[in-house]
């Protein structure tokens, strides 16, 4: 039997460059973010930014596999 569990994990970013590095410039996936999309994301990100950065909820999924007894 297997199950999926979803939860939100708080993730802190120092600034947009930190966010961009961790989400757009990853090596495991190809991101095709257009300049217009990047600008929209930047505006939204900056609307939440404080002096110490921003903490956003990152949706996580865990697949739990159980060995049958």
| Mean of per-residue pLDDT scores for the chain | 92
Beta-ladder partners of 55: 12
Tokens (6 digits) for 14: 């120092």
| DSSP letters for 5-50 | EEEEEEEEESSHHHHHHHHTS-SSS-----HHHHHHHHHHHHHH-B
Indicate the pTM of the whole model: 0.74
Least confident interval from 7-11, 13-17, 32-36: 32-36
So what's the pLDDT on residue 25? Answer: 83
In percent, how much of the chain has pLDDT > 70? 100
Per-residue pLDDT for 69 more than 90?
no
């Amino acid at each position: 039997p297997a199950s999926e569990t979803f939860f939100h994990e708080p993730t802190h970013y120092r600034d947009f460059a930190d966010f961009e590095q961790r989400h757009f410039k990853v090596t495991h996936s190809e991101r095709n973010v257009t300049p217009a999309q990047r600008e929209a994301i930047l505006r939204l990100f900056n609307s939440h930014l404080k002096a110490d950065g921003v903490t956003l909820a990152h949706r996580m999924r865990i697949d739990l596999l159980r060995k049958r007894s």
